[in-house]
Amino acid sequence: MRPDDRKYLSSHEWIKINGDIATIGITDFAVEELSSGNEGDLVYCDLPELGRVLETGETFGEIESVKAVADLNSPLAGEVIEINSAIEDHLEILSQDPWDRGWMVKIKLSEKDSPELLDLAGYESSLEN
């Protein structure tokens, strides 16, 4: 079950905002599409350096599986203040827990909203199209 305490992009990233800090990750749908349910199919994840300033919609990294490479897009603008380096070495975390332990980056927000952000119902509706 997908959490309703965050916003989503149609490109399958999620963002959870807490004050002026936001945590960004990818959805279970993205993980499933990349790995076909086999966590060993995820082979590489490239995350940004600390201090990098991201614009809304900007690609900040990529995740690679044996069958595809997907860009990671920032749902909102802000400065990267923390990266989850554990997932770079242990991509299985994304398959096991994309919502909590599988977060990718934390940013200090320079904006709080975007028309591209979807609530849970909007995101799930986008999956049906």
CATH code, domain carrying 84: 2.40.50.100
At 30, the pLDDT band (50, 70, 90 cuts) reads very high
With respect to residue 54, please indicate whether it lies within any of the assigned structural domains.
yes
What percentage of residues in the chain have a pLDDT greater than 90? 84
With respect to residue 83, please indicate whether it lies within any of the assigned structural domains.
yes
Task: Report pLDDT digits (tens) over 74-94.
Answer: 999 999 999 999 998 899 999
Q: Is it the case that residue 37 has pLDDT exceeding 80?
A: no
DSSP 104: -
With respect to residue 128, please indicate whether it lies within any of the assigned structural domains.
no
Strand 78-83 with 105-109, pairing? antiparallel
Cβ atoms of 47 and 61 closer than 8 Å: yes
Cβ atoms of 77 and 48 closer than 8 Å: no
